[in-house]
Amino acid sequence: MNSIKETNFKFPNQTGFYRGKVRDVYYFGDTMAMVASDRISAFDVVLPRAIPDKGRVLNQIAAINLNATKDIVPNWVIKTPDPNVTIGFRCDPFPVEMVVRGYLSGHAAREYKAGRRSVCGVSLPEGLKESDQLPHPIITPTTKAKVGHDEDISKEEILQRGLVSKEDYELLEKYTLDLFRRGTELAAKRSLILVDTKYEFGKHNGKIYLIDEVHTPDSSRYFYRDGYEDRQKKGEAQKQLSKEFVRQWLIENGFQGKDGQRVPEMTDAVVTSISDRYRELYAQVTGEKLPDINYDQLGERIEKSIVNSIK
């Protein structure tokens, strides 16, 4: 099966290009074409092999969720002309990611286990177990690093450093909590619990827009609702729907993105298993099987969709 590790198109009316960890972005003045590649990253490191179908899975889940939240905050999307392509407004991104947590899991759980009772300036109560629901959702922002690791940051430090104005930040907080409530409602319809997620925002013509992907298994963590309470009572690990399985595979093989560590070998079997998992994630989140596509000439198909959209 083919995969899209990277694209290198040259369009006649193109004004710029940017390659992120997993996306290739082509600029056309005030608009942009974002190609969701099959690259995969973990611990802020791009892994050496691409994962077939990963890009279109995330791009299509994001499109569904952006459409389902546009009444809360306008978003950057103009249209999605291809399973791997989104055309949208070019926004100036805020240099922070708005991470919101409803449960003690992932990074916050690791911090809590290490004895810390504050994350990004937000206090956490004593007596929590991993995967417990928090008294209320909390916002734990991170810096948005162009390269390397994102870092925890508090609201106070964001304002003190002038990364975001007080007026804009308060609006980002409101949007973040409203989006998380909507995401929680949407997840419940699929018998899922939205554990934590991140939102990115930017400005276009002075107006705040929601950008990037929303409520995907890469940007969010989900628990299966069925059996959640029973597993918590027994102290068992929760059944997750997220990219956490990739991180766990890396951790088990001695890699957490730290200096001197090497990414374990990604065999064909490992790549296939991750690809299968992404297709499973799509079915669980959308309630539909991932459509079959013709994998011949993937690059030509993507290029043509952009040419026909940017005129």
Find the angle CA(293)-CA(298)-CA(303) to the nearest 5 degrees. Answer: 125
Whole-number pLDDT of residue 147: 54
Homologous superfamily of 16-92+267-309 in CATH? Phosphorylase Kinase; domain 1 (3.30.200.20)
Local confidence pLDDT in tens for the 311 residues of the chain: 589 999 999 998 999 999 999 999 999 999 999 999 999 998 889 999 999 999 999 999 999 999 999 999 999 999 999 999 999 999 999 999 999 999 999 889 999 999 999 999 999 999 999 999 999 999 999 998 655 567 899 999 999 999 999 999 999 999 999 999 999 999 999 999 999 999 999 999 999 999 999 999 889 999 999 999 999 999 999 988 888 889 889 999 999 988 899 999 999 999 999 999 899 889 988 989 999 888 888 899 999 999 999 87
CA distance linking residue 78 with residue 91, whole number of Å: 13
Whole-number pLDDT of residue 142: 95
Whole-number pLDDT of residue 241: 81
Whole-number pLDDT of residue 151: 87
Locate the domains of the chain by residue range. Answer: 16-92+267-309
CA distance linking residue 91 with residue 210, whole number of Å: 9
Instruction: Say if residues 254 and 261 touch (Cβ distance below 8 Å).
Output: yes
Whole-number pLDDT of residue 149: 60
CA distance linking residue 57 with residue 36, whole number of Å: 9
Closest CA to 302 of 46, 5, 78: 5
Which helix (H) or strand (E) is 250 found in, with range? helix 244-252
Q: What is the DSSP string of 263-293?
A: PPP--HHHHHHHHHHHHHHHHHHHSSPPPP-
